[in-house]
Amino acid sequence: MAQLWGGRFQSATDQDAYRFNASIYFDKRLVHEDIEGSLAHAEMLARTGIISEEDGKAIAEGLKSIIADVDAGKIEITDKYEDVHSFVEAVLTERIGDAGKRLHTGRSRNDQVALDMKLYTRKAVKAVDESLFHLQEALSDIIDNNLDTFMPGFTHLQKAQPVTLAHHMGAYFEMFIRDRSRLKDIYNRMDSCPLGSGALAGTTYPLDREFTAEKLGFKLGPTRNSMDSVSDRDYLIEFLSALSTIMMHLSRFSEEVIIWNSNEYRFVEIDDRFSTGSSIMPQKKNPDIAELVRGKTGRVYGALMSMLTTMKGIPLAYDKDMQEDKEVVFDAIDTVTDCLHLFTGMVSTMKFRNDVMEKSAKNGFTNATDAADYLVKKGVPFRDAHSIIGRLVLKCLEEGKAMDDLTMDEWKSESEVFEDDIYEAIALRTCVEKRLTFGAPGHESMAKNAAFYHEYLKKQSF
């Protein structure tokens, strides 16, 4: 067992206790970040004269050779090592001798792992943001091509008022704008370097923490309080919260795709590449990707709850409980990244049944509010207009037809105010086009939004 401690112990660790305590099984994922931080630390130690330039050079060359061999598959990170830190230091010492033992001067595994997780999380935040960007690109294409594709808008899962497919997709585009904004906030807030905080109280060595912070790209410089530095996991909680919100948005979107894909709706047809069949029913084409995205949302929520629960009772500074941060964070990142990738593929290849959506909007009385507004503009009090149209809707339901199919005699049976212009007033295009307030589904309003989305996608988040 390769460990970075043991001098004061008289007997070896119980094997089961060793396995229970070890983190190598999952923190080996941090090997690139661990070596990245170690290279900066070694350069700083040599630069400040804490170790010799010769040792600093040997350490740097040794570290680079280790990561090259790991990437090439020439060396395996096994459970012989307690954690990724002991793996790197043990292999380094095997390769360059005593100089490798000087690498850990002026640092602890506490500030080392805090750094590794920050470096890893920063990359993950950017990767998730990029995945959201690609999903927004797919949505932008749908919006551009469907400014005049009419469909029913819903409240309470009941058909409410006519909108366009572009307007509906724009709602999700807006959600993902907020998601990306949250990721940027998290990135900026965590952009300080904990390296050099030691176990909890800094060190007596003359470390140049500003140098390592700059070397590692932390714009806020070194963290200000060494106790907080090694015990801070707020950025992981914030990230898991942002990931949970992203999954909530994807889950809502998935739910609609699942409904729209059903035989009862037939608004969309999911591409075969993102569907599955049944082992017994040959006619089935199931929206499994959307269903799995919806299902995996709970998994990411669980990671957030796990992290909050782990941190709620931990006194300052570092405690072993914090080792529990990695598996849930890694799993949540993998889950969200996979979901975004597959969901984007599904949406970008999905076929929309424009004719079915328009027919659904017409037969769902989504123009009833406009019919009431027609009466109001003719001088009828709104409450009376509401009742008149309600009775006409009931008549249509009883006779199985749309309001557009009512004869003029049928209109006038409820109010003499109706004239032939009622048919134009309740046409879907009219209903949508006259909604020109900012944020509404009218063509002019949505065209402005589509142009805004194009400009938004040209900007860099980070």
Closest CA to 378 of 348, 419, 345: 419
Element (H, E) at 257: helix 234-261
Which domains can be identified in the chain, with CATH numbers? 15-105 (1.10.275.10), 122-147+155-198+228-359 (1.20.200.10), 364-458 (1.10.40.30)
Spatial contact of 230 and 317, defined as CB atoms under 8 Å apart: yes
User: What is the pairing mode between strands 150-155 and 351-352?
Assistant: unpaired
Q: Cα dihedral angle (90, 95, 98, 99), rounded to 10 degrees?
A: -100
Q: For residue 164, which phi and psi values (nearest 5 degrees)? A: -120, 160
What residues are annotated to the active site? Answer: 156, 278
CA distances from 63 to 72, 194, 327 (A): 14, 21, 25
Residues 263, 250: Cα–Cα separation, whole Å: 22
Asked if residue 140 lies in contact with residue 173, where contact means CB atoms within 8 angstroms, the answer is: yes
Q: What is the pLDDT of residue 22?
A: 84
Chain centre to alpha carbon of residue 27: 22
Residue 19 is predicted with a pLDDT of: 78
CA 444 to CA 158: how far, in whole Å? 27
Longest dimension (CA), the chain: 101
pLDDT at site 2: 58
Query: Quick one: pLDDT at residue 148?
Result: 96
pLDDT of residue 122: 98
Residue 455: Cβ within 10 Å count: 8
Structure tokens at 310: 């782990």
> What local confidence, expressed as pLDDT, does residue 319 receive?
94
Q: What is the CA radius of gyration of the chain?
A: 30
Q: What is the pLDDT of residues 423-434, one digit of tens each?
A: 999 999 999 998
Q: What is the pLDDT of residue 5?
A: 47
Q: Distance between CA atoms of 365 and 404, rounded to whole angstroms?
A: 9
Answer whether 138's CB lies under 8 Å from 345's CB: no
Give pLDDT, residue 68. 98
Per-residue pLDDT of the chain (462 residues; tens, 9 = 90+): 556 646 666 667 667 776 777 899 999 999 999 999 999 999 999 999 999 999 999 999 999 999 999 999 999 999 999 999 999 999 999 999 999 999 999 999 999 999 999 999 999 999 999 999 999 999 999 999 999 999 999 999 999 999 999 999 999 999 999 999 999 999 999 999 999 999 999 999 999 999 999 999 999 999 999 999 999 999 999 999 999 999 999 999 999 999 999 999 999 999 999 998 888 988 889 999 999 999 999 999 999 999 999 999 999 999 999 999 999 999 999 999 999 999 999 999 999 999 999 999 988 899 999 999 999 999 999 999 999 999 999 999 999 999 999 999 999 999 999 999 999 999 999 999 988 899 999 999 999 999 999 999 999 777
